[in-house]
Structure 1
């Protein structure tokens, strides 16, 4: 039995009231940021070098993000830590996929589900669909939409995906080079019909330089029991899920936070609602980054130091929506060196 108060239900109409709540960056000392981590409005225009990967972290968008109200910066990878729908209907999944497809400036989009994405938890949905939907929908159809969406969309459920940084950057570079060449030709067309042979192909550092292997990303939608929503498990039993996190994981994605990191619910009897078993597993895995959401009030980041500070895990609560379900928290950007 839970010993913290029941969370307020999300507003069913998700009324757009952004004007009532202006966007403000969290009150964090920018000088204390870990290296190469930024809130989107403060990120430098360029990565430290062409062969670095830029990763954009978001979560808990709840079908509230659109190109004109929530811009996503240029990046190589986008990771979304769940709750991309309001109440997990197929129509809402379609809307989310269409939004991801519109992000043509990001080649890879890695997605995990959350407790609101109820139709994706097959066993849970079979038992509880009436609480969320007036008509039962097809779990497999919803899953297939995400699995076959294309456009660089990768859906993970307790699965590993390795980002081939060298290949990803080189393909992106080749496309940009081709587009640049086409633009130059267009700008230098001789009205007499002569070829534009004076175009200068500038030499650019090969973005594959320095790469040996890719970044290993393991993602799971599960979190401690939270008033009978999807992908919930009783506290104490989650270690049976977390034991499958590979020990060589570089970037861990879970919908919910570990205990004491981005998990504060100020008005709850139990102030920290993160998963203690997940924190215990982190002690063995020690990923470079742990990206999650779920607790909107916990937006921001913290560090867990290992071995006296010789290594650390940066915990990133990337919740896009505020407690009132307004998409006002900026994306969090991470620049990743060649690996």
Structure 2
């Protein structure tokens, strides 16, 4: 017996509503927005964005901020707010409240993890853990930035047993290629994903990297089997399969089916909160997080959720799970593959030379 959960993923809407961007949100259980809700973090932009998100018919909406959401990074805005808003500065606390108070179904993750329980009677009634972070590495003065020297410590804070990782930045060489051929993602994030191997990783930020990749993590034999698809990462070789997208302007929904119904089933397992040790965000004070100063088209992904009696029993008999290294070793034996999705709606990057365009005009999604 299996149950499936449908995640509808968007990112980099930059103040556009779905109708303005030319796409329609498909039906689903959970909406994920991977950051850049706005162009410059203004209160009016945040209200417009949170209005359509709060009204969208999903049981839960998971949100992270992005580098353009400057008012949601209080420390950054205290120092640099005048660059974006001159003398008419916004109140960061009020801006954060617009997001967190939009609706009970909205979950804003600020480099922290939580457990989600879906309870709708007509829904899948599944449980999963998710880590979300607004941070990204880039040139210039933008919110939620970090230096290369901070990257390893930053991404090592992702708990090893989360099912979904939502980051504004993409991992390096996975949905992060720029028009000039360079890769703008974070190598340290990729290395962390290769260790914890979450079934699903959602990102945005690099608009031109829109799409998805299925990554089968490090096995020395993979290069021999698939020499054209192997990607060397240190002492490992990962097999990366590029997902095909509908052409620009197509009315077809970009549906990534990981259940095995329309293609190969994702070779990975998820874990219920009883085995993860995490509680809902509102009830935990020890979430692994970077403290943030308090003063200052769409893609649908379907994931399977099997009955977990066998997995839970195995976990309960595994005393070595008391250490993170052994936990990672155990997870890697059950998790072989991750689907990485860049769900950017915007097609061009700042400063948008030639004009700002979106990915899915005249289509139903991407």
Q: Same fold (TM over 0.5)?
A: yes
Structure-1 separation of matches of 2:173 and 2:45: 32
Per-residue deviation, 1:295: 0.3
Write the distance in 2 (CA, Å) between the matches of 1:74 and 1:305: 29
- 2:34–2:64 Cα contact (<8 Å) kept: yes
The match for 2:346 is 321
Is 246-255 or 232-241 further displaced after alignment? 232-241
* Distance (whole Å) between structure 1 residues aligned to residue 128 and residue 216 of structure 2: 21
CA pair 236-331 structure 1, distance change in 2 beyond 3 A: farther
| C-alpha distance in structure 1 between counterparts of 2:59 and 2:156, whole Å | 31
How far off its partner does 1:138 sit? Answer: 0.6
The residue matched to 2:148 in structure 1 has which SS?
A: coil
| 2:132 alignment partner, SS class | strand
Q: Which residue of 2 aligns with 1:237?
A: 150
Quick check: 1:305 aligned with 2:216? yes
What TM-score, normalized by structure 1, do the two folds share? 0.67
Q: Are 1:145 and 2:98 an aligned pair? A: yes
The answer to whether 1:116 aligns with 2:147 is no
Say if 1:56 and 1:331, in contact at 8 Å, map to a contact too: no
Higher-Rg structure is 1
CA RMSD of aligned residues (A): 2.1
User: Using the alignment, how far apart are the partners of 1:278 and 1:224 within structure 2?
Assistant: 11
**Against the structure 1 CA distance between its residues 331 and 56, is the aligned structure 2 distance closer, same or farther, given a 3 Å change threshold?**
farther
Q: Establish whether residue 164 from structure 1 lines up as the match of residue 117 from structure 2.
A: yes
Q: Within 5 Å, which residues of 2 pair with 1:1-339?
A: 51-67=3-19, 69-103=22-56, 105-134=57-86, 135-165=88-118, 167-168=119-120, 170=121, 172=122, 207-208=124-125, 214-267=127-180, 271-306=182-217, 308=219, 311-323=336-348, 324=352, 325-329=356-360, 331=365
Residue range with higher mean Cα deviation, 122-131 or 63-72: 63-72
Partner secondary structure for residue 150 of structure 2? coil
Deviation at 1:328, TM superposition (A): 2.6
Q: In the aligned structure 1, how far is the partner of 2:365 from the partner of 2:201?
A: 15
Q: Output one character per residue of 1:188-246: Cα deviation in whole Å (capped at 9) or x when no partner.
A: xxxxxxxxxxxxxxxxxxx55xx5xx111100000113311111111131222211101
Q: Contact conserved, 1:156 with 1:220, CA < 8 A, in 2?
A: yes
Equivalenced residue count is 241
TM-score (norm 2): 0.62
The gaps in structure 2 that reach 5 residues or longer are: 220-238, 240-266, 268-335
Report what 1:190 is aligned to: none
Note if contact 1:147-1:155 (Cα within 8 Å) is conserved in structure 2.
yes
Q: Answer whether contact 1:318 1:331 (CA < 8 A) is retained.
A: no
Q: Distance in 1 between matches of 2:183 and 2:359?
A: 23
Shift of 1:273: 1.2
Secondary structure in 2 matching 1:236: helix
Structure 1 segments unaligned to the other structure (5+ residues): 1-47, 174-206, 333-339
Contact 1:225 1:235 in 2 (8 A): no
Provide the secondary structure at the position in 2 that maps to 1:238.
helix
Shift in CA distance, 243/331, structure 1 to aligned 2, threshold 3 Å: farther
**Structure 2 CA distance for aligned equivalents of residues 245 and 58 of structure 1:** 22
- Superposition deviation, residue 65 in structure 1: 2.1
SS of residue paired to 1:91: helix
For 2:345, what is the secondary structure of its paired residue? coil
